[in-house]
């Protein structure tokens, strides 16, 4: 593993969020000022293909990267855009029971207003 890839992976692992390529680039540059955007993109793509990280496509939000590659679903706050993990193992079972057959994969994004935004006074 190259130094660049190690750095990119450690940034993702240390974050408790789902980071966009731009955010990863910004954080990587703090530690390795010589790193290029293309290097970050190429490494993220390669790690996505190798199953080390997972690229998330969510409508209306920039693609971001997930260090958790096991199946799980996402909550998206419609106010602040924050993405949170949610584990719904019973859902796949329920879909399969309804269909009467195995499924390969599914993607689910649940839209909601996150607890912080619910507490905060409404924006003007």
Strand, coil or helix: what is 36? coil
Residue 37 in contact with Zn ion, rule: CB under 5 A: no
Residue 117 in contact with Zn ion, rule: CB under 5 A: yes
Contact string (CB under 5 A) for Zn ion, positions 97-116, x = contact? -----------------x--
Kindly indicate which of the ranges 3-11, 31-39, 78-86, 93-101 contains the residues binding Zn ion, using the contact rule CB under 5 A: 78-86
Among 36, 46, 80, 88, binds Zn ion (CB under 5 A): 80
- For 15-93, where are the E strands, in sequence order? 19-20, 54-56, 64-66, 73-77, 83-86
Burial class (CB in 10 A: 0-12, 13-18, 19+), 32: middle
């Amino acid at each position: 593993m190259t130094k660049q890839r190690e750095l990119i992976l450690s940034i993702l692992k240390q974050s408790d969020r789902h980071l966009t390529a731009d955010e990863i680039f910004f954080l990587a540059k703090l530690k390795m000022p010589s790193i290029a955007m293309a290097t970050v993109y190429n490494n993220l793509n390669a790690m996505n293909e190798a199953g080390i990280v997972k690229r998330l496509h969510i409508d209306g939000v920039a693609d971001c990267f997930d260090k958790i590659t096991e199946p799980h679903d996402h909550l998206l706050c419609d106010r602040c855009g924050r993405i949170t993990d949610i584990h719904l193992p019973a859902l796949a079972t329920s879909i399969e029971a309804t269909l009467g057959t195995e499924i390969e994969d599914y993607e689910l994004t649940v839209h909601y207003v996150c607890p912080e935004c619910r507490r905060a006074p409404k924006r003007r």
